[in-house]
A and B are shown apart, each in its own frame.
Chain A
Amino acid sequence: MFKARMRFSKTGRAKYISHLDLMHTMQRAMARCNMPIWFTEGFNQHAYVSVALPLSTGYSGEYEFLDFNFLTETVPENAVKMINSVFPEGLYAQEIYALSDGGMKIANIAWSRYKITWGFDGEIPQDFIKDANELFAKDDIQILKRSKRGEKMVNMKELMKTPEITQKDGVVVCNVVTGAGNKNMSPEYLTKAIKEYLPQYNITDEAYHRLCVYTDDMVEFR
């Protein structure tokens, strides 16, 4: 038995699958393709799977991770193909690999890169991109942030890197790296900041897509 990790994407209709439901969905997909994975023992036996850094329901992502254990000596040939042939729409495995020496620790994930899409009723307002870039170029952007310990004002710039905001196919695309793990900050705070500091703009559509996750020194997590 050895530890293994799957990198997968969760897009389209699958983005509405919640964290708990995603585990069930993964367990059942594993069963459908007879993936030789380890089950927990004891009273309530089930296929052991663990989703790293689960996405919020409604977010899509292409750099998601699932940890589990193989009962075989090596990763079965075709494992990626096998699982992809039994996934529901919107889930897609890119890679399945053994974690030698336990692999990178989930706890070491420190940053996520998101693509945020903002839409407007009709055309993109003329100065929006300029104003948004200016806003996020500041060193201090105070925002009311919710955490387990309650709400408090924080400087969101300490929890993110300066985004790149551009325009593409009639919508605004914001590429941003935000804190994950201990200094987690949801990308929705960028939308909140715009609503608060640039109230003249009325964003009607917002979508969040995770592009990548990194360790503290910005090494791509694996």
Chain B
Amino acid sequence: MLSAKLERILPKVQKPARYVGGEWGSVTKDKNEVDIRFAFCFPDVYEVGMSHLGSRILYGLLNDQKGVWCERVFAPWVDLEEHMRKENIPLYGLESGDALSEFDIIGFTLQYELSFSNILNMLDLGGVPVLAQDRKELKNLVVAGGPCAYNPEPLCDFIDLFMIGDGEEVMLDLVNLYNTAKDENISKHEFLVRAAQIQGIYVPSLYDVEYNEDGTVKKVTAKENAPKMVQKRIVEDLDTMYYPEYFVVPSTDIVFDRAMVELFRGCPRGCRFCQAGHTYRPLRKKSKETILNQAKKVLESSGYEEISLSSLSTSDYSELSGLTECMLDYCEPKHISLSLPSLRADSFSAELMERVQKVRKSGLTFACEAGTQRLRDVINKNITEDDVLGACEIAFQGGWNNVKLYFMLGLPTETSEDLDGISEICKKVAYCWRINTNNRARGVKITASASCFVPKPQTPFQWDAQNTLAVLQGKQDYMRKIMKTKNVTYNWHDAKTSVMEGVIARGDRRQGKAIYLAWQRGCKFDGWEQLFDFDKWIQAFKDCDLDPAFYASRQRPLDEVFPWDHIGCGTTKQHLKREWERSRNAAITEDCMKKCAGCGSNSLFEGGHCCV
């Protein structure tokens, strides 16, 4: 229930509906009847967090357990936070309205480095000590998982344990162990020692890190029987894996307000800049039947008017055409539209597009990433200009007039020729529209967006220096000058944000102090341009004797020990190194469907075979 204090405040804040819960599909249990109260925290606003499929899956999974009540917690926007602090209202679970400090396990999902400060802020606002060492009891155990857990080190001061890899199974192991620990009344430390024995669980306090003179990691030592290397967990069979039959349906607008079903995990492509492409391996797919079944159930129980089939590379789903047909047979009579994100330009077929657009027509997006074939080969984005133009031709002939192209600036080995290439492609796409459209009067909207490349841990580019702020800004200025084609709108992202993301992405545990200091000085919602304070962050690093450039813009030697080397993402470091070497010769590596590149992740399977 909402407290009277909160009700007094809600009329004064923006979009109060996101703070009240009670949506269709949200789960309420009797708190006296459950053993474990789990707070599933997303360190961003409701609209962003509710759009995240993984969180929806785990919310359903945990609440499916009889003894567990999982609630949702999001970061309140600054206007509400101000009122909450003034009125002494603690951050609360949306289902019960109870303070965060009343929960047994507090779990954060780590999607983005620039949401880390929000984790500290949410704990604090919820009345939970921010530093792990100040939480002495088993209660308020703070755990985390998600993509950024592949380098958990910057968060070691705050998080008691990390779950690496797929959450569906390890989450239940954790909850079971917690139950036992409560029954046996063991200490938090004893619990953590035992938890470290579960595959996929990383307990940072059980590892000592030594550094070299130059600030790089010398070695990491595991204590108290914790594994030397924490290998990630995977769910082997997606067909039998838990999938929610209902979704929480927000009563207010969110970013991706639709039903979603996952097609497969892992990506066969191996783009060298992409962390997900390397950390979600090995490839596992859901059968067409399972997908259809799950899609129907979720649509029926949610009432959603749109469903997306999600994956890292949808066109690589082997039965996509048949699946789309069956989906449309179901969706069309019910006025449900189907969206297929992550389609690749090269396999884009006119037929598929026409079928999908029958119910509702949305824009087309192509991730070209780089402006020349040479650079696309460096990053192993195996897509050619002809692919893009061929797809555009079909699209424009089919009456589409809205195309988005994505690029990155600052990729390794980039030269001004590559930047010119971006503007060339855009010109060609604009020309392609002119000669292919059958309705010039309607006009066309071509949007080119350029983000700044951030080298990520556990990718072949983890050794590479990120361009400095000055270099990135220089490239952006140059782009603005050359992107002058009619009908092409050019968007760019703030380079400072990417630099900060780059600093933390490959950080070590010493960064905890800087993150703490930055948060104390008011940093939060750093992913939101209007609130991001770059200078404050840089100052916090300096005040902790840490050099941001050491983390972001330093080229690492191939034999350097990384702070995240003891965290296994499935793909081996050896493979990543090989890929880095190939990238310097602009040598492409074929996708898994053509030839296994030997990334090593198949060893996580019982049989050792990827399903491609």
Contacts and interface: CB of A to CB of B under 8 A. Distances in A.
B22 A14 contact: yes
A57 B16 contact: yes
B10 A32 contact: no
A195 interface: no
Measured as residues with beta carbon below 8 angstroms from the partner, the interface class of chain A is 20 to 34
B22 A205 contact: no
A98 B111 CA distance: 49
Given A12-B22, A87-B24, A29 B303 contact: yes
Nearest to A32: B303
Interface string A17-50: 1101110110111111000000100011111000
A56 to B, nearest CB: 9
B17 interface: yes
B24 A47 contact: no
A8 to B, nearest CB: 14
B302 A16 contact: no
Interface string B271-312: 000000000000000000000000000001111110000000
A66 B251 CA distance: 17
A220 interface: no
A90 interface: yes
Contacts of B7: 205, 207
Nearest to B246: A32
Interface residues of B, number: 31
B303 A30 contact: yes
B8 interface: yes
Contacts of B21: 13, 89
Nearest to B23: A88
Nearest to B12: A58
Given A21-B251, A45-B335, A45-B359, A31 B17 contact: no
B86 interface: no
A31 B20 CA distance: 24
Given A17-B252, A25-B251, A86 B10 contact: no
A28 B302 contact: yes
Nearest to B257: A24
Contacts of B361: 43
Given A17-B17, A32-B302, A47 B22 contact: no
A31 B303 contact: yes
Interface string B7-38: 11011000011011111101000000000000
B510 to A, nearest CB: 44
A86 B251 contact: no
B399 to A, nearest CB: 12
A204 interface: yes
B596 interface: no
Contacts of B22: 12-14, 88-90
A54 to B, nearest CB: 14
A121 to B, nearest CB: 11
Given A14-B251, A46-B305, A86 B24 contact: yes
A31 B334 contact: yes
Given A43-B361, A89-B26, 8 more contacts: A25-B249, A27-B303, A28-B304, A30-B303, A32-B300, A47-B305, A47-B335, A86-B24
9 contacts: A16-B10, A16-B17, A25-B251, A27-B305, A28-B305, A39-B335, A46-B305, A89-B26, A205-B4
Interface of B: 2, 4, 7-8, 10-11, 16-17, 19-24, 26, 249, 251-253, 257, 300-305, 334-335, 359-361
